[in-house]
Amino acid sequence: MFAYIIRRVLYAIPILIGVNLLTFALFFVVNSPDDMAVSQLGDKYVTPEAIDNWKRKHGYDKPLFLNPDAGGVETLTDTIFFNKSVKLFAFDFGRSESGRDITTDVTTRMGPSLAVALPTFLVGIGVNICVALMVVMFRATPLDRGAVLVFVALMSISYLFYIIGGQFLVAKTWKLVPISGFHPEGQVWKFLILPVLVGVVAGIGAGARWYRTLFLEEANQDYVRTARAKGCSELRILFRHILPNAMIPILTGVVVLIPALFMGSLLIESFFGIPGLGSYMLDAIRSQDFAIVRSMVFIGSILYIVGLILTDISYTWADPRVRLS
Of residues 101-120, those binding other proteins (CB under 8 A): 101, 103-105, 108-109, 112
**Residue 1 sits in the site that holds other proteins (CB under 8 A):** no
Work out the number of other CB atoms within 10 angstroms of the CB of residue 126.
11
Select 67 or 136, whichever has its Cβ closest to other proteins: 136
Residue (14 or 68) nearer to other proteins, CB: 14
The stretches of the chain forming alpha helices (DSSP H) are: 2-30, 33-41, 48-58, 74-77, 80-89, 102-137, 142-155, 159-166, 188-219, 222-230, 234-236, 243-255, 266-271, 277-287, 290-318
Of 69 and 244, CB closest to other proteins: 244
Q: Interface with other proteins includes 313 (CB under 8 A)?
A: no
Which of the stretches 60-68, 70-78, 79-87, 238-246 binds other proteins when contact is defined by CB under 8 A? 238-246
Q: How far is C-alpha 71 from the chain's CA centre?
A: 41
Minimal distance, residue 25 CB to other proteins, in Å: 9
Spatial neighbors of 152 by CB under 8 A, at least 6 apart, are 205, 209
Cβ atoms of 113 and 276 within 8 Å: the answer is: yes
From 64, 179, 313, 324, residue interacting with other proteins (rule: CB under 8 A): 179
Phi, psi of 274, rounded to the nearest 5 degrees: -95, 125
Looking at 228, 258, 311, 324, which residue binds other proteins (CB under 8 A)? 228
**By CB under 8 A, what part of segment 241-260 binds other proteins?**
241, 244-245, 247-248
Return the number of the residue (287 or 311) whose C-beta is nearest other proteins. Answer: 287
**Which residue stretch of 62-70, 75-83, 114-122, 280-288 sits at the interface with other proteins (rule: CB under 8 A)?**
280-288
**C-beta of 255: minimal distance to other proteins in Å?**
15
For other proteins (CB under 8 A), the number of binding residues is: 137
- Figure out which of the listed residues 266, 313, 316, 324 binds other proteins, where binding follows CB under 8 A: 266
- In whole angstroms, the minimum distance from the beta carbon of 82 to other proteins comes to 19
Pick from 33, 207, 249, 275 the residue near other proteins by CB under 8 A: 275
Measured CA to CA, the distance from residue 88 to residue 92 in angstroms comes to 5
State how far the alpha carbon of 130 is from the alpha carbons of 76, 153, 209, 250, in Å. 56, 19, 12, 14
314 near other proteins, judged by CB under 8 A: no
User: Distances in Å between the alpha carbon of 148 and those of 136, 138, 141, 156, 282?
Assistant: 10, 11, 11, 12, 34
Segment interacting with other proteins, rule: CB under 8 A, options 67-75, 78-86, 114-122, 150-158:
150-158
Residues in contact with 113: Cβ distance below 8 Å, sequence separation at least 6, in sequence order: 261, 262, 263, 264, 265, 269, 274, 276, 277, 278
CA angle at residue 106 from 100 to 92, to 5 degrees? 70
State yes or no: residue 61 binds other proteins (CB under 8 A): no
Q: Give the type of residue at 295.
A: S
Name which of residues 76 to 95 contact other proteins (CB under 8 A): none
Residue 129, interface with other proteins (CB under 8 A)?
no
